[in-house]
Amino acid sequence: GEFGRTPMFQGKGSTAGRDHHIKGFSMWLAGGGIRGGMTLGNTDDFGYNAIEDVVEVHDLHATMLHVLGVDHEQLTYRYQGRDFRLTDVRGRVVAPLLA
């Protein structure tokens, strides 16, 4: 996956370009329990913000762990005396991506 690029150019002259963009991007997934030939989600008219079927990185991690047979809610690590989850508290398995 790639974090994406802004839908508009920034800067001027030789420094003009498109910056990193995390609010709307594409990802190609294949194999291992992932449904093929589909598109999930949509962005606004400018391609700037995801507005439909938004998937966050914690959701992607939860889904990847699920197809590997790991319960993401049970996968924790301790840091400075506190238990954390790779998928945070809001990560969810994205069922439409599963075969």
pLDDT computed for residue 40 by the predictor:
92
Give backbone dihedrals phi and psi of 62, rounded to 5 degrees, phi first: -60, -40
The yes-or-no verdict on residue 1 having pLDDT over 60 is no
The yes-or-no verdict on residue 31 having pLDDT over 90 is no
CA–CA gap between residue 47 and residue 54 (Å, rounded): 13
Mean pLDDT of 11-38: 86
The yes-or-no verdict on residue 57 having pLDDT over 60 is yes
Residue extents of the structural domains in the chain: 13-97
CB under 8 Å to 21, separation ≥6 — which residues?
3, 4, 5, 6, 7, 48
Phi-psi sector, 96: left (phi>0), alpha (psi -120 to 50), beta: alpha
Contact 24, 40 (CB under 8 A): no
